[in-house]
Amino acid sequence: MKILNERGFMLLQVVFLAMITSIVAMIFLNGVMQVKNRNATLRLTAIHLANEQIAESESRAAQGILPDGSISWLGVDDDLTTYNSGAKEPVKFDVKTNVENFSDNVALKKITVKVEWKVGEENFQIESEKIIREKILQP
Amino acid sequence: MSSKNGQKGFILAEFIIALPLLILLLYGLANMTLKIISLAREQMANYVLETEAHEVLRRITDDARAAYSVQRLIHDKNLEEVTFVYDVPKYDGFVVFTDVRGRRRYVVDKGRVISKRDGGFSYDIYTTPVTGGNFFADTWVDKLKFSSRSENVLHVAVEMHDNITRQSVKISTSVFMPGCKEKTGFE
């Protein structure tokens, strides 16, 4: 076999190139890994808050005392603040609820619960709906 | 270093400079690999923690909706247990049960939420852990509390942490129990 007098890269060139590539890769990977999906836990907390508001509304509807229109938070006040984001600063939830008639049946009500929260400068929200039966009080 | 058949190899000086650099590179790579593995484990543990907290609330609220009565028992200021009763006694000389009979009890035992079903004789027959025992996490229940502020509404709060990541999660919710006729142990 004929061996040509070829000149390749020097070992040092290869090592220096590998080092530069590794440093760039480390900086890039470090940045990517620090982005954590903390919002998943906050979304879960918000879904359960919406369920809490719907349960309280159902209870009032069963007693015939659920008003139509916009209603305030009916659950436990402490539940509106959470540290589930992993940050030192708490995240506060804002719950907006609307009750309206559903179809022509006055006993059926549609509850729409919107839970909003803010992380840094970003705003997030979830919306939940439920049709419930209200007890009609006799005059 | 030397030339053989006209080939050129690395010279010794190149090796002497390159070797420490290669060792440094390998150290960096090993470090990076360990970091990736530990971060992946941390993320998995967080996911399990979140899922288990959700599962506790989901199981309790699902069972609560169909309960005929609910009983709360306080063990300490953070740990409480709840029992849902599905029996419907008829006082005509006999006790007649509905199709869904017995009781379902949720209790915290050694940091784990355990669901116990009373089949009529003993709670120990059907015991299933709701949390813990996951290979990817080491969860611990710090708080399980029940309260009732409104008629036929059960408020459930669970707080858990993971021993690997030291992360904790606290989630609360409420459930409406349309068929609930009795509440005991609540203020």
Of A31-40, A122-131, B50-59, the least confident: A31-40
pLDDT tens for each residue of B4-19: 555 566 677 777 888 8
CA pseudo-torsion sign A49, A54, A55, A56:
positive
Of B17, B25, B39, the CB nearest to A19: B25
pLDDT at site A85: 74
Question: Would you state the structure tokens that stand for residue A59, as one six-digit string?
Answer: 């209870």
Q: How far apart are CA B47 and CA B61, in angstroms?
A: 21
A33 touches chain B (CB under 8 A): yes
What lies within 8 Å, CB to CB, of B146 at 6+ separation is: B72, B80, B82, B154, B155, B156, B157, B186
Instruction: Give the pLDDT confidence score for residue A4 in this predicted structure.
Output: 58
Distance CA B112, CA B118 (A): 19
Beta carbons of B176 and A18 less than 8 Å apart:
no
pLDDT tens digit string along B126-179?
A: 788 999 989 999 999 999 999 998 889 999 999 999 998 888 999 999 999 998
Chain B residues in contact with A60 by the CB 8 A cut-off are 150
pLDDT of residue A71: 94
Q: Are B86 and B67 in contact (CB under 8 A)?
A: yes
Cβ atoms B48, A42 nearer than 8 A: no
pLDDT at A114 over 70: yes
Strand partners, B7: B4
Residue B2: DSSP 8-state: -
For testing contact with chain A, the best of B27, B37, B150, B160 (most A CBs within 10 A): B150
Around Cβ A45, how many Cβ atoms within 10 Å? 26
pLDDT in tens, B84-94: 988 655 555 55
Q: What is the mean pLDDT of residues B109-133?
A: 81
* Residue percentage of chain A with pLDDT more than 90: 50
Contact by Cβ (8 Å): A100, A68: yes
Average pLDDT estimate for A55-76? 93
Contacts 24+ apart (CB under 8 A), B110-114: B111/B139, B111/B140, B111/B141, B112/B139, B112/B141, B113/B56, B113/B141, B113/B144, B113/B158
Q: Taking 80 as the threshold, does the pLDDT of residue A10 lie above it?
A: no
